[in-house]
Amino acid sequence: MIPTEVKKVLQHQHYHIVGEHSAVKLCYWTKRSILNRGYCYKQKFYGIQSHRCLQMSPAVAWCTQRCLFCWRNVEQTLGIKLDRFDDPSEIIENSIMAQRQLLSGYGGIPDRINEKKFDEAQNPNQVAISLSGEPTIYPRISELIEEFNRRDFTTFLVTNGTLPERLESLDPLPTQLYLSLDAPDEEIYKRVCNPIIPDGWRKINETLNIFPSLNTRRVIRLTAIKGLNMLKVEKYSKLIRIAEPDFVEVKAYMFLGGSRRRLTLGNMPSFDDVRRFSEELSEELGYGIKDQKEDSRVVLLTRDSCNIKIK
């Protein structure tokens, strides 16, 4: 289903294509963890193990938006729905095999790697269903989560919120559900997220309204882009209050991949920029700043009653 020219670009960017529409890519922090050079903020905040995290997407080149900050070549977006789709079990099996292939080069440098972590990484136990594209476009997303659960994975699902009907029908729900909220109003949303569908902002607001009813750990994630969407804190707060998330992550846009053709290095905020914006949001929203990770340029806000660790 992925045209040869699109596949070549994805492979050049170190995506491993899985089946007809899925992909795996080694996370920067998975590699760093195996080399004993750090770990991702999700390990610090929530207790997952970076070296055992599988970063994948069941709809790598399909999305309802062409966001300016996306690291994929969004010009090659293949549409907003899948006409045919792979079996969830096959996707998972092949994704794990792809992860092992991507890791294989690290086995050749035993004097530099943590061999215990390298061995454990062959059998991931945490999945980030995000990577690229909109994962809920995959019609069997509930079955995919269920199959990961059967294999004792924790599941982090990231959605842009433009398919609320898919979220409302999720069964089972993931361990942690992320909703990307990258604009405080429709004008900025259209500029930053470049929706393909005509009613994207309305759909996101519909998702915000159903978010409190989804009985799992819920996170609103803001990708902070300097000069574009780090403003109108009161409007962000109003939207977040509707969603009643357990956590809010404010994460800096990183100048990577295809986004470098659409944005500039000046759009990547420093950690101090992110911290200041988070403090303003905290004061307006009433969520406390719980944690931060400076090298990831991310700040975590939470309600005091929320349990932060999943393990």
The DSSP secondary structure of 176-203, one letter per residue, reads EEEEE---SSHHHHHHHH-BSSTTHHHH
In a 3-state reduction of DSSP, which class is residue 129? strand
| pLDDT at residue number 307 | 61
Which tens digit of pLDDT belongs to each residue from 84-118?
Answer: 999 999 999 999 999 999 999 887 777 788 999 99
Which tens digit of pLDDT belongs to each residue from 262-292?
Answer: 999 999 999 999 999 999 999 999 999 999 9
**What's the whole-number mean pLDDT along residues 8-30?**
94
In a 3-state reduction of DSSP, which class is residue 311? coil
At position 46, the amino acid (one-letter code) is: Y
Q: How confident is the model at residue 309 (pLDDT cuts 50, 70, 90)?
A: low
Which tens digit of pLDDT belongs to each residue from 159-174?
Answer: 999 999 999 999 999 9
| pLDDT at residue number 32 | 93
The DSSP secondary structure of 13-33, one letter per residue, reads TT-EEETTTEEE---HHHHHH
Which residue, chain included where needed, has tokens 């079996």?
87
**Does the pLDDT at position 311 exceed 60?**
no
Name which residue leads in pLDDT, 56 or 309.
56
Q: Could you tell me which residues are beta bridge partners of residue 220?
A: 179, 248
Cβ atoms of residues 291 and 45 within 8 Å: yes
Helix (H) or strand (E) holding 279: helix 271-285
Crossing angle of helices 88-103 and 141-150, in 10° steps, is 60
| pLDDT at residue number 306 | 61
pTM of the model: 0.94
**Does the pLDDT at position 299 exceed 90?**
yes
Q: Which residues contact 199 (CB under 8 A, 6 or more apart)?
A: none
CA distance 106 to 109: 6
CATH classification number, 4-302, choose in 3.10.20.740, 3.90.550.10, 3.20.20.70, 3.40.50.720: 3.20.20.70
In a 3-state reduction of DSSP, which class is residue 282? helix
Name which residue leads in pLDDT, 53 or 113.
53
The DSSP secondary structure of 29-73, one letter per residue, reads HHHHHHTTS---HHHHHH---GGGEEEEESSTT--SB--TT-SS-
Structure token digits, residue 279: 């403090």
